[in-house]
Amino acid sequence: MNNETKYYLGLDIGTSSVGWAVTDENYKILRSHGKALWGVRLFEAAKSAQERRVFRSGRRRLQRRVERIRLLQELFAEEISKVDLGFYQRLHDSYYYEEDKTIIQKNTLFAEKNFDDKVYHQKYPTIYHLRKELIDCDTVHDIREVYLAIHHIIKHRGHFLFSGQKIDVITSIKTSFREFQQVLKDEMQIELVVDHVETVEEILKAKDGISKKEKNLKDVFHVDTKDKQRCAILGLIAGGKKSLSHVFADESLEDFEKNKISFADGNFEENQNVLEEALGERYYVLAKIKTIYDWAILADTLQGKESLSYAKTAIYDKHRKDLILLKNAVKKYLSKEKFIEIFRSSEEKYNYCAYIGMCKKNGKKIAIKDSKCNQELLCKYLRGIFKNISNESDQHLIYLKQEMELNTLLPKAVSKDNSVIPYQLQEIELKKILANAKKYLPFLNQTDEKGLSVCDKILAIFKFRIPYYVGPVNGAHKEAGFYWAELKIEGKVYPWNFDERIDVEKSAEAFIKRMTNKCTYLSGEDVLPKASLAYQEFMVLNELNNLQIHDEKISVELKKDLYQNLFEKYKKVTIKRLTDYLVAKGVLEAKEKEKISGIDGDFKSSLSTYLDFSRIFCKKKVSLAILEQLVSDITIFGDAKDLLKKRLKSYSCDFSDEEMRELLTLRYKD
């Protein structure tokens, strides 16, 4: 190849490589310096921001937790220093090995001669035992014990999915079940009707296996086993593993990596972002299905007890009882080697040591790293060991085998199921502990110049969350352009003075302006919410305009007829529903279904907002302007129920309590 040779350079550019080749005019590979001029350059494929976003969210969540604990320590600091100057330092160093601590010592909480960690743990085997004690008794307790209980509640305060709702509503299945039924009907045109919701409650609370629960649910809902979609939905509620392609009747999901899911799977929460990305708006349906499963887990955790600490101490007592019975059974029916394998070996993947993440060697506790054994895997492992052992006269053995079969043997107080605990349960205990503690800890009643007591500030720390529509309150973000909060008063923002220093209404308005763009069609006009009545009407008519029958566009009269009798009645207008209607009207012959064209399968657009408001305001006439404003507010403030409720009360239209409740359940996005 010389400088005058004519040649082609071909490139094949991919996400992780670039292939290249140099040919002559006849597409023959050229050579230079004895080498063929073709090759490939490989490089690492680009990654989406999803993984980084997950880690960033985790860091911010931990930072907020650390800040809550820091504020709590400030409130207790002066009084605790009077009793124990090194208490906070020991807590801070508790993460380290003894030789790496600031002050080398084995104790992490209490280091007094007559009251060290050993004495404390004998008195309170778990933190829930301490919390239970402080709830029940108003007698004098060590201030450090009170701090530890409050510290635990504020650190693990529970989820805020039912923000503002009362605990009796949350612990009742009726509200969640009603919303679950409504979502299935609105979004998937599926009706799951049962005579008595209490029957469903009994099935989910029963100590039965997943398969039996699923069968009982199918029976009570009268679902045919051939109905894959309804069976999949009920299977998820029971805790089974089902395909999303069956749940949503969507074959395209069969190739999705996470097609098969189970709410009982410990990895479900980790895969949430992946599922949201794949399902889009349909993830909301999956979330509503999960609320029924979560309710069952919460009911199982509480076991009918009003207090979380009472329930957790009962779980601890059951674990201790089960462990004694299991050890006795192993000693009675199995060899000494088997006992060592189950209770002492760090090599077994699914034994008791792997389950608790710790084993004893030479009298010392050793942590087992990367232990992934859960209760289900442990019970499966034990079932295999006790498979051929039976003794009808041994009631303890019968009990153990039953518990293994139900996967309820040796429950743990700390597990993935704790993620279903709402903050209201923790709040009830925090208030009871503070009510008792302030009788013998006078500083909890001390007030500042605004009249706020230390107790008030602790409760404010517990419940405080910066609303997303307020955004960062640290002025350092101004230069980066990530700051829009409107201040009433300059100064440090604390959970207990947030409303005093931040103008929430103006901040929300600023948030709206940041989120609102201008229309690309109509110059100068603001964009509409996706759920806007006007926008949905436009989208439906846009699809109807393309509809053809016998290769001819439909008449204006037929278009109006379809609009009024299909779209104004059903949230999902399918091709089958359209065809059946046209046949019934005599527009089509039954055998001419293929004569419909201009649409790709079912209609993609819907008058869902119109149907929502028709249901809510069936006995009241509300102006279109108010309805459009409702859509806008629900779209922007749908996750901030308190602010949304406040805005709804400012409307000129006086909403009834029932209408207000229904409006607050609506969820519009984009």
pLDDT of residue 660: 83
> Which residues are 10's β-sheet partners?
21
Question: How many Å apart are CA 304 and CA 302, to the nearest integer?
Answer: 5
pLDDT band at 462 (very low <50, low <70, confident <90, very high): very high
Helix (H, G, I), strand (E, B) or coil at 552: strand
Helix (H, G, I), strand (E, B) or coil at 79: helix
Question: How many Å apart are CA 471 and CA 505, to the nearest integer?
Answer: 13
Report whether 447 contacts 453 (CB < 8 A): yes
Written as six digits, the tokens of 586 are: 């005599």
Report whether 296 contacts 236 (CB < 8 A): no
Closest CA to 248 of 264, 265, 261: 261
Question: How many Å apart are CA 11 and CA 18, to the nearest integer?
Answer: 7
Helix (H, G, I), strand (E, B) or coil at 365: strand
| 149-159 pLDDT per residue, tens | 999 999 999 88
Q: Where are the domains of the chain?
A: 8-42, 59-151, 167-302, 318-411, 533-665
pLDDT band at 480 (very low <50, low <70, confident <90, very high): low
3-state secondary structure 376-418: HHHHHHHHHHCCCCCCCCCHHHHHHHHHHHHCCCCCCCCCHHH
Task: Tell me which of 284-293, 473-482, 506-515 is least confident.
Answer: 473-482
pLDDT band at 587 (very low <50, low <70, confident <90, very high): confident
Question: How many Å apart are CA 81 and CA 78, to the nearest integer?
Answer: 5
Question: How many Å apart are CA 497 and CA 231, to the nearest integer?
Answer: 51
> Which residues are 18's β-sheet partners?
13, 41
Question: How many Å apart are CA 173 and CA 357, to the nearest integer?
Answer: 35
Q: Give the mean pLDDT of 410-430.
A: 88
CA-based R_g, the chain, Å? 32
| 231-264 pLDDT per residue, tens | 999 999 988 889 988 988 888 888 888 888 888 8
Phi, psi (rounded to 5 degrees) for 116: -115, -170
pLDDT of residue 133: 95
> Do strands 358-361 and 38-42 pair parallel, antiparallel, or not at all (unpaired)?
unpaired
Question: How many Å apart are CA 22 and CA 37, to the nearest integer?
Answer: 5
Written as six digits, the tokens of 299 are: 């009911």
Report whether 149 contacts 62 (CB < 8 A): no
Measured in whole angstroms, the distance separating CA 63 from the mean position of its chain's CA atoms is 20
Q: Give the mean pLDDT of 443-455.
A: 92
Strand order in the sheet with 38-42: 8-13, 17-23, 38-42
- pTM, two decimal places: 0.79
In Å, what is the CA distance from 631 to each residue of 105, 271, 508, 532, 597? 61, 30, 16, 6, 33
User: What is the CB neighbour count within 10 angstroms for residue 369?
Assistant: 7
pLDDT of residue 402: 92
pLDDT of residue 266: 65
pLDDT of residue 438: 93
| 178-208 pLDDT per residue, tens | 888 888 887 787 888 888 888 888 888 887 7
Q: Is the dihedral of CA 407, 411, 417, 421 positive or negative?
A: positive
Question: How many Å apart are CA 434 and CA 106, to the nearest integer?
Answer: 31
Question: How many Å apart are CA 66 and CA 39, to the nearest integer?
Answer: 53
Phi-psi label, residue 71: left if phi above 0, alpha if psi -120 to 50, beta otherwise? alpha
Q: How far apart are the first and last CA of the chain?
A: 59
In the chain, what percentage of residues exceed pLDDT 90? 32
Written as six digits, the tokens of 605 are: 């657009």
The better pLDDT of the pair 433, 585 is held by 433
| 60-83 pLDDT per residue, tens | 889 999 999 999 999 999 999 999
Measured in whole angstroms, the distance separating CA 346 from the mean position of its chain's CA atoms is 33
> Do strands 38-42 and 17-23 pair parallel, antiparallel, or not at all (unpaired)?
antiparallel
In Å, what is the CA distance from 351 to each residue of 336, 385, 396, 410? 15, 11, 20, 12
Report whether 444 contacts 146 (CB < 8 A): no
Question: How many Å apart are CA 430 and CA 413, to the nearest integer?
Answer: 19
pLDDT band at 1 (very low <50, low <70, confident <90, very high): low
